[in-house]
Amino acid sequence: MTISPTSAPRGLFGLAAAALLAFTAAPALAVEPFTAQYQANYMGMRADATMQLAPEGDNRWKYSLNLAGAGARLEQNTIFETRGDQWRPLSSVDSQRGESGIAAMLVRRRSVDGVYNWDTGEARWTGDVRDGQGGPVALQPGDLDGMLMNLVLVRDVQAGKSPLRYRLVEDGRSKRQVFEREGTEQVTVGGETKQATKVVRTDGRRQIIAWIVDDLPVPARLLQRRDGKDHIDLRLQSFR
């Protein structure tokens, strides 16, 4: 996920946070609805975030993230469908705005809608898009948007998949995403200590780190860093 005065959080956060380059599906895992509450810290400001997965019918699901606090509001969601072991995006919404205080100056109002049309094999974006970011981008089997990559990453880590290589399609382009395992660490969720697998993606001056617990379908913690400094930090508080 990326939050800045000029861009909304991507790929959860991207945990700011794609498709397998040589796609080999992980073992089929049941998709089940959930609600997760996070404590957030971004740009030095405190906020609360809710992550949800809800059924939309006909093998379709809505995965959403809503973050509010310190005068800022960020909303992301993706509608995706499950086809066996492949989960593919159909549409996405990504918006941010600063409503009051310092956030009104730091967080620029922005809203972008994406459509992933698998019949035509193209993805396009409308709204507050820059020149060249409206698409179309040709789709390939296994392509993901930023939000859906979070779910797939957790699934693949828990399934022991390696390598963790993805193709992210958003903002009028496709981009390779490679996560590396960096051992295990302890994290705290709801007052309980849990063992988590730590995975890291480094892309120039930006870095995304996720801590993934075996029995949770969402990251227990998700940290985005810029130039070696913490930019966004999400820590799971409760899950149901």
Domain membership of residue 170 (yes or no) is: yes
Which domain covers residue 109, as residue numbers? Answer: 34-179
pLDDT at 140 over 90: yes
Domain membership of residue 14 (yes or no) is: no
What pLDDT is attached to residue 102?
A: 61
What distances in angstroms separate CA 112 from CA 68, 190, 216, one per listed residue?
A: 18, 34, 29
Domain membership of residue 158 (yes or no) is: yes
3-state secondary structure of 73: strand
Domain membership of residue 165 (yes or no) is: yes
Cis peptide before 5 (omega within 30 of 0): no
Of 10, 12, 232, which is closest to residue 133 (Cα–Cα)?
Answer: 10
N residues, the chain? 240
Name which residue leads in pLDDT, 68 or 128.
128
Of 142, 155, 145, which is closest to residue 199 (Cα–Cα)?
Answer: 155
Segment 85-113 mean pLDDT: 80
DSSP state of 140: -
pTM of the entire structure?
0.83
Could you tell me if 118 and 91 are in contact, meaning their C-beta atoms sit under 8 angstroms apart?
no
- Binned at pLDDT 50, 70 and 90, residue 70 comes out as low
> Considering only 115-129, 156-170, 217-231, which range has the smallest mean pLDDT?
217-231
Domain membership of residue 157 (yes or no) is: yes
Bridge partners of 76?
65, 94
Q: What is the mean pLDDT of the chain?
A: 84
Report which listed range, 7-11, 29-33, 109-113, 216-220, is most confident. Answer: 216-220
Instruction: Indicate if the alpha-carbon torsion angle 130, 113, 236, 60 is positive or negative.
Output: negative
Segment 215-223 mean pLDDT: 93
Domain membership of residue 226 (yes or no) is: no
What pLDDT is attached to residue 88?
A: 96
Segment 108-113 mean pLDDT: 86
Please count the structural domains in the chain: 1
What pLDDT is attached to residue 2?
A: 34
Q: Which two tokens stand for residue 205?
A: 């001056």
Segment 232-238 mean pLDDT: 92
Segment 57-86 mean pLDDT: 88
Burial per residue of 65-94, b for 16 or more beta-carbon CB atoms within 10 angstroms, e otherwise:
bebebbbbbbbbbbbbbeeeebbbbbbbbb
What pLDDT is attached to residue 166?
A: 96
What pLDDT is attached to residue 204?
A: 82
What is the rounded CA–CA span in Å between residue 204 and residue 146? 18
Domain membership of residue 81 (yes or no) is: yes
